[in-house]
Structure 1
Amino acid sequence: MKIILYAGGNLPSSGTGGPLKIMDLIFNNSVSKNESYILSTKGLINRQLDKNKFSNNLNIKHIALNQLLNYGIIKQKTLAKLSSIKRDITIVKKLKKIRDEKYIVHNLYAGNSLGLTYYLKNNNKKHIVTFQSKGSIVNEINDSHNTSKDSLFGKYMFKQEAYVIKNANLITFPSFASFSLMRNSHPEIEFDKLNVKIIYNGINVSQISNILKRSERKLNDKLRIINVAQHIEQKQIDKTLLILKELKNTIDFEFVNIGDGRLLEKNIQLSKELGLNNKVKFLGKLPYEEVIKQLFQSDIFIMTSRDVIFDLITLEAMAVGLPVLVSADGGNLELIENNINGFLISPDKSSEIIKILTQLKNDFNFYKRISEKAKTTILEKYTVETMCNEYYKIYEELDNMYYAQ
């Protein structure tokens, strides 16, 4: 079975989040019993040939491209920045070169794939689309780039997305919350008539263990609270800072944020205005291995986001053994059993959050019970092996469709 993972103009990397990270996990996972490729404007990359180059390379976009150029797999001109139209033309040309007629395309970069979808549909090629966005991709463009969804570009992207949804053989979402947000974004689409499945995201627990080398936990004298998130409206880091303002009068703590984004300077200024200068550190964007180490050095993970899909970083924090305090929103409601493997919080109810933090600080047996249950939850339900096995079942289902024609 030949599986082609579509990456748009990008390459997969463990150092990112969202679809590119999921693609990296699928591409490199040993349980994938397929002949796997990455398809992008940068080339058609074979899993067997380039497996080691893509596994844990934190500088993948620079190093891997140079290596691929040396192998003669891609040409220098593909490194140029391509428009979406040129991207579609490039992708279709590369697909046409594949001799095997019975291949399956897994589109994990659905926001910009009109030409690809049109080609696959009209050539009777089987394809899956996985959405990792918070509803329509147009919403995320608006959130991260401050571009209006009512702009000409926004309207174009919205119509393109609708075409991709309607013409895929199968659509997957990482949570029921994610599916619900997409349905709300596209009320004109009859989703009940489409083939839709929920496949929860998974993480590479073995990789995390290899980074840490040890797993025993003990609390810091000064409670270390960590948050890993982009500085955009949806992450609501300002609400986390307001909670910390109230907490500083109760227990001794330090807060670490990892992430960048257009609201970073605004949140730094807010922390100063709230008198948190000496308690808050903004570390910016860090390599994946360093993020995992920072998680392990911390005591508690907090995230006050809205429109939650199924955050990989929350899974990683739980795998490390951190009690997680996350907003009672979206995919968190499918992951967290309140007071069992973590805590569902309302960001506006700081007194309740402070009560939880105080109990975790003062009662290590309680802390340890939550920590162990968090790790068990990940091992039982949310590993990369579990996720990839679910995708493999879908690949087989679509592969069988070729022979049923």
Structure 2
Amino acid sequence: MAVKVITYADQADKADDVYRILRQGHPLLRQAKYFWRLFGLANWADAIYATDLYSVGYFAYWLKKILGKKYVIRFAGDSAWELAAAKGWTKDYIIDFQDKKYDKKIEKLKNRRKKILAEADKVIAVSRFMALVAKKIGVPENKIEVIYNSVDFAGGLAFDSAKVEAIKNQFGGAKKIIMTACRLAPWKGVDGIIKILPDLIKLAGPVSFLVLGDGRQEADLKKLAKDLAVGGRVFFLGKIKREEIMNYYKAADLFILNSQYEGLSHTLLEAMSAQAPIIASAIGGNPELISDGEQGLLVGYNNRKELLAAAGRILMDNNLAASLARQAKIKSGEFSWEKTAAQTAFVLNQVCYG
């Protein structure tokens, strides 16, 4: 199977069969360049594999209409729900969101992504949970294939022992290090973690909370930490380069993912691979990675009582923390790049050649 790739990029690096559209410039011009390049490549290709739903997926939808090209969509998240939730247009859970009727601006978003998914020749859902969402949106079950994300994409993950120690010395010392890594959006539940810190400090002793990632909620979260008198214990570190991220997981005494919704979390897979003790919300694809009491502890989304109890258990019981981390590491081995690539290639071959 021959493959050509088109992608957005910050630099115009040259590589055979990889076509980069620079992110600089006006978004409409950038998208027009992407579509024109994709149009040219579509004439060469038997099928298009789109890993983004709204922009690239929409282009693929139109190229099927214009050229009759088959396309496959990777479905990792519901962009309609994410956008509506980020803008405060809805507070409904993602499953309930599929069944309810809303005003025109939300229904327009929902209808667009339904068209893109329903017209696809195959939809690759990244978890059983996302397969359920796809079915609720209206994708026929025989078009859906579940292929999990991998933890070792593009050469694997590594850590630097010296840098891990530097992080521990900077933020740890006599304090336990808690971390989360996510986009700072309302459904990621970072506020819920900050809210338990005063009681957690009383229960388990001094902690530092590292927040990796950025987003529109950052100012509100900083204010919340200050209002709760834990501003000096919460550190907003912004986006961390991929080659550095494992150092933070390895330095953490506890990783928390308190989100309302996850397709299949890459950060959770990374934390598992790094042998960080984990607490995750029992939603979306998280229970497909973490069995409660085995690879980590599962809690209700933003359930402060459960979150506090689980954090206290892990921070005060080294044997429990070590056991959870060890089993998480073993489980992460099931999510290999080789398996993901092979399963994806099989689906693409089916679409192209029957």
1:183-262 alignment, distance < 5 Å: 183-184=135-136, 186=137, 189=138, 191-192=140-141, 194-204=142-152, 207=155, 209-212=157-160, 221-252=174-205, 253-262=207-216
Show the counterpart of 1:325. 279
> Counterpart amino acid of 1:119?
L
The answer for the alignment partner of 1:107 in structure 2 is 50
User: Which residue in the other structure is 1:90 paired with?
Assistant: 36
TM-score by length of 2: 0.82
Find the aligned partners of 1:382 and 1:308 in 2 and give their Cα distance: 16
Partner of 2:98: none
1:283-298 → structure 2 map (5 Å cutoff): 283-298=237-252
1:63-82 paired onto structure 2 within 5 Å: 63=11, 65=12, 67-68=13-14, 81-82=27-28
SS at match of 2:150: coil
Residue 1 (structure 2) pairs with residue 38 (structure 1): no
Q: Distance in 2 between matches of 1:209 and 1:245?
A: 34
Question: 1-side partners of 2:351 and 2:312: how far apart?
Answer: 51
Letter of the structure 2 residue corresponding to residue 346 of structure 1:
G
Whichever residue aligns with residue 291 of structure 1, its letter is I
| Structure 2 residue 64 is the aligned partner of structure 1 residue 120 | yes
Given that residues 6 and 18 in structure 2 are in contact (C-alpha distance below 8 angstroms), is that contact kept between their aligned partners in structure 1?
Answer: no
Deviation at residue 297 of structure 1 after TM alignment: 1.3
Partner of 1:111: helix, strand, or coil? Answer: coil
Change (3 A) 1:210 1:335: closer
CA apart distance, 1:349: 4.3
* Residue aligned with 2:145, SS: strand
**Contact 1:227/1:303, CA 8 A, preserved across alignment:** yes
Q: In the TM superposition, what is the alpha-carbon distance from 1:172 to its structure 2 partner? A: 1.2
CA contact (8 A) 1:226 1:300 kept: yes
User: 1:330 and 1:68, CA in 2 relative to 1: closer, same or farther beyond 3 A?
Assistant: same
User: Residue 263 of structure 2 aligns with which residue?
Assistant: 309
Q: How much does 1:115 deviate?
A: 4.1
Q: Say if 2:260 and 2:281, in contact at 8 Å, map to a contact too.
A: yes
2: CA distance, partners of 1:327 / 1:398? 36
How far is the alpha carbon of 1:395 from its aligned partner?
Answer: 2.1
Residues in 2 aligned to 1:376 and 1:277: alpha-carbon distance in whole angstroms = 36
Structure 2 residue 125 is the aligned partner of structure 1 residue 181: no
Q: Which amino acid aligns with 1:120?
A: K
Residues 1:183 and 1:96: Cα distance change in structure 2 (over 3 Å): closer
Q: Secondary structure at the match of 2:347?
A: helix
Contact 2:73 2:124 in 1 (8 A): yes
User: Deviations along 1:4-62, whole A, 9 cap, x unmatched?
Assistant: xxxxxxxxxxxxxxxxxxxxxxxxxxxxxxxx32125x6xxxxxxxxxxxxxxxxxx33
Match of 2:238, SS?
A: coil
Cα distance in structure 2, aligned partners of 1:348 and 1:74: 40
> Aligned with 2:54: secondary structure?
helix
Instruction: Give the partner amino acid of 1:290.
Output: E
Q: 1:11 maps to which residue?
A: none
Distance change (3 Å), C-alpha of 1:75 and 1:334: closer
Moved more, 366-375 or 289-298: 289-298
Separation in 2 of the partners of 1:77 and 1:254?
36
Are residue 160 (structure 1) and residue 112 (structure 2) matched? Answer: yes
Judge conservation of contact 1:91–1:116 (CA < 8 Å) in 2: no
Other-structure match for 2:74 = 130
Scaled by the length of structure 1, the TM-score of the pair is 0.73
**What is the CA distance between 1:151 and its match in structure 2?**
7.2
The change in CA–CA distance for 1:83 and 1:151 in structure 2 (over 3 A counts) is: farther
Q: Percent identity?
A: 19
Which 10-residue stretch deviates more, 122-131 or 238-247?
Answer: 122-131
Structure 2: where are the runs of 5+ without partners?
91-100
- Count, aligned residues: 336
Whether the 8 Å CA contact 1:240–1:303 is kept in 2: the answer is no
Which shifted more, 347-356 or 222-231?
Answer: 347-356
Q: Any idea what SS the aligned residue of 1:94 has?
A: helix
**Cα distance in 2, alignment partners of residues 369 and 75 from structure 1:** 46
Identify the residue that residue 85 of structure 2 maps to in structure 1: 143
Aligned partners of 2:298 and 2:276: how far apart in 1? 14
CA offset at residue 352 of structure 1?
3.9
What root-mean-square deviation, in Å, do the aligned CA atoms of Structure 1 and Structure 2 show? 3.4
Structure 1: state its 5+ residue gaps: 3-35, 43-60
User: Residues 267 and 352 (structure 1 numbering): CA distance in 2 closer, same or farther, change over 3 Å?
Assistant: same
